[in-house]
């Protein structure tokens, strides 16, 4: 049964005569407190916040003077008191509430300014269990939720970025705050505590290795509002979770237009792909279009890798995303800017390369400071009607798999290197996925088809198109190897690859018809390697996996 309403209408304007300030992030605190005091607002504060205000020469009353009870237990208990929460939760137009306030000497609080212990940052830094627990804020969320619930009478501020708008609203309304303004602040406050609690519950699920907790929560902070989503009639915003995994969310944008919804989705796909390649071993480049690779290659230099990747499908590469696993250098930059490119993302960039890219003012250049670890765990989330699908990140790496040669002929050393390369790429191609590769480069990619046979034929067709574009007689698929992201249910998909010229194949295996498929491979003298690991990819929606040392309390 729901709690009955007092059915008291909220006043439009509430004068702000008394404010409680208790913040960990003290950005802009002193200036904000001084402006409030100059407007005649009495300031009540706690611990380090009170010290910062007092040392600035601003009159402030310690919360212990209000509660008549000292802060105890290293500041764990200071605002959890009826004198505070009664001041926040009282319905001022209710006679019983007013009488209770008089009986207990409770003075109303009209404005609450609170931000929280840095749990998300401490978690992201990988602090100890005890240190992380100590940064779970209790009093802060309690005050935020109390003030937000009672926004009919109390304004709650949780973000220093809102200080200016609060002062402007006070000035515009002769020292009062309007109901609609208070309600918007309350909405933001509840969202903040929800994201905070989501991070805490996620940390517990991680540390306890709970695969399927009874309740799951995911939170994020708005990073940017976009002009539109996947299509112009859709609204979109980009929310960051706080996960420190290098990528588009953590990158510095050095130049170019604002990233669009599709830019972010495609750039994430591109950078996750090149993260599969060790930069100490090889230079790697991925060119992505509509979240699918249209060319991937490795080489001695980024320039070599880029040109090999571009040769796979130069038509689709136009207007694509280019990701690199090493610092973008001048030689690679000169080649990339020769065709229209939406985004370049790399761990670093040289000064010379940055100057070259700067000539294309609309080209976005992102620098991440590192590469994503393909072996790291994480959580993938996809929304469906009425629910969320949640799974672990596909962090299986082909170098760690026990590969089994299923055919009479084993692959050569060169074929095996290309098979591993192709299987790395197939992991990042929408299913059904077929990838032809040769000499450390894709030569044909078939993606997103309902039939694996169709994917194989499309990839072969792409390889033939690339050969014609390069002025070569034979299809690039001749003498290549092929990777399939899932087993061949029948031999037809394999036979299409053999017909295109593939000499070796890598696939998960596991079909009831494996014997027939292997027999077909043996009948044509090609080598087949089984991985035992499937690579289906139907969507790309990444949520969190986060873990900065705490400082003294608020």
Q: Indicate which residues carry an active-site annotation.
A: 149, 290
SS3 for 99-157, per residue?
HHHHHCCCCCCCEEEECCCCHHHHHHCCCCHHHHHHCCCCHHHHHHHHHHHCCCCCEEE
Cβ(85)–Cβ(146) below 8 Å: yes
Which residues have C-beta within 8 Å of that of residue 67, sequence separation ≥ 6? 78, 79, 81, 83, 84
Which of helix, strand or coil describes residue 335? Answer: helix
Torsion sign over Cα 445, 450, 456, 462: negative
Residue with tokens 């779970």: 136
Q: Give the strand order in the sheet containing 18-22.
A: 61-62, 42-45, 18-22, 111-114, 155-157
Closest CA relative to residue 158, chosen from 332, 263, 23, 315: 23
Q: How far apart are CA 135 and CA 444, in angstroms?
A: 51
Helix (H, G, I), strand (E, B) or coil at 325: coil
User: What single-letter DSSP state applies at residue 38?
Assistant: H
Give the C-alpha separation, 12 to 58, whole Å. Answer: 30
Q: Which of 119, 61, 120, 109 is nearest to 87 (CA)?
A: 109
CA distance 375 to 396: 6
Q: Which residue has the tokens 């694996």?
A: 452
Count Cβ atoms below 10 Å from residue 275 Cβ, excluding itself. Answer: 26
Q: Phi and psi of 494, rounded to 5°?
A: -65, -45
> In 3-state terms, what secondary structure has residue 158?
coil
Per residue, what are the HEC states of 260-291? CHHHHHHHHHHHHHHCCCCCCCCEEEEEEECC
CA distance 539 to 430: 8
State the sign of the Cα–Cα–Cα–Cα dihedral 262, 425, 506, 537.
negative
């Amino acid at each position: 049964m729901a709690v009955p309403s007092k059915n008291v209408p909220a006043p439009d304007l509430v004068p702000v005569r008394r404010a409680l300030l208790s913040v960990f992030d003290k950005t802009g605190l002193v200036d904000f407190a001084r402006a409030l005091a100059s407007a005649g607002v009495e300031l009540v504060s706690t611990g380090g916040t009170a010290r910062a205000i007092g040392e600035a020469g601003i009159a402030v009353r310690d919360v212990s003077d209000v509660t008549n009870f000292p802060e105890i237990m290293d500041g764990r208990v200071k605002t959890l008191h009826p004198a505070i929460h009664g001041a926040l939760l009282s319905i001022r137009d209710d006679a019983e509430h007013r009488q209770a306030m008089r009986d207990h000497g409770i003075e109303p609080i009209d404005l609450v300014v609170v931000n929280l212990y840095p749990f998300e940052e401490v978690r992201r830094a990988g602090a100890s269990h005890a240190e992380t627990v100590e940064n779970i804020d209790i009093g802060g969320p309690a005050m935020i939720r109390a003030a937000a619930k009672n926004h009919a009478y109390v304004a709650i501020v949780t973000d220093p970025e809102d200080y200016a708008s609060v002062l402007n609203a006070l000035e515009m309304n002769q020292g009062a705050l309007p109901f609609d303004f208070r309600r918007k602040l309350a909405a933001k406050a509840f969202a903040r505590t929800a994201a905070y609690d989501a991070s805490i519950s996620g940390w517990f699920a991680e540390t306890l290795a709970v695969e399927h907790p009874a309740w799951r929560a995911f939170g994020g902070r708005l990073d940017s509002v976009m002009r539109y989503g996947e299509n112009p009639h859709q609204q979109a915003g980009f929310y960051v979770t706080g996960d420190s995994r290098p990528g588009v969310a953590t990158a510095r944008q050095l130049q170019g237009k604002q990233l669009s919804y599709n830019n972010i989705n495609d750039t994430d796909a591109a950078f996750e792909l090149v993260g599969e390649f060790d930069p100490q071993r090889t230079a790697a480049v991925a060119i992505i279009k509509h979240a699918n690779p249209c060319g991937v290659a490795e080489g001695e230099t980024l320039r070599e890798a880029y040109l090999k990747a571009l040769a796979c499908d130069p038509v689709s590469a136009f207007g694509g995303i280019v990701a690199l696993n090493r610092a973008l250098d001048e030689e690679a930059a000169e080649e990339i800017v020769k065709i229209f490119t939406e985004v370049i993302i790399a761990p670093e960039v040289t000064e010379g390369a940055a100057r070259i890219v700067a000539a294309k003012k609309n080209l976005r250049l992102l620098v991440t400071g590192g590469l994503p670890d393909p072996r790291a765990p994480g959580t993938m989330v996809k929304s469906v009607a009425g629910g969320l699908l949640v799974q672990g990140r596909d962090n299986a790496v082909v170098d760690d798999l026990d590969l089994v040669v299923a055919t009479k002929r084993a692959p050569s050393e060169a074929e095996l290197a290309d098979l591993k390369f192709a299987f790395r790429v197939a992991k990042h191609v929408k299913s059904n996925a077929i990838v032809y590769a040769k000499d450390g480069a894709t030569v044909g990619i078939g993606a997103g088809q309902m039939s694996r046979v169709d994917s194989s034929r499309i990839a072969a067709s792409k390889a033939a198109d690339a050969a014609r574009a390069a002025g070569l007689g034979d299809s690039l698929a001749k003498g290549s190897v092929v990777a399939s992201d899932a087993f061949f249910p029948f031999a037809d998909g394999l036979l299409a690859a053999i017909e295109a010229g593939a000499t070796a194949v890598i696939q998960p295996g596991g079909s009831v018809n494996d014997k027939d498929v292997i027999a077909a491979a043996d009948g044509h003298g090609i080598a087949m390697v089984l991985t035992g690991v499937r690579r289906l990819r139907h969507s790309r929606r990444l949520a969190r996996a986060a873990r900065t040392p705490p400082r003294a309390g608020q």
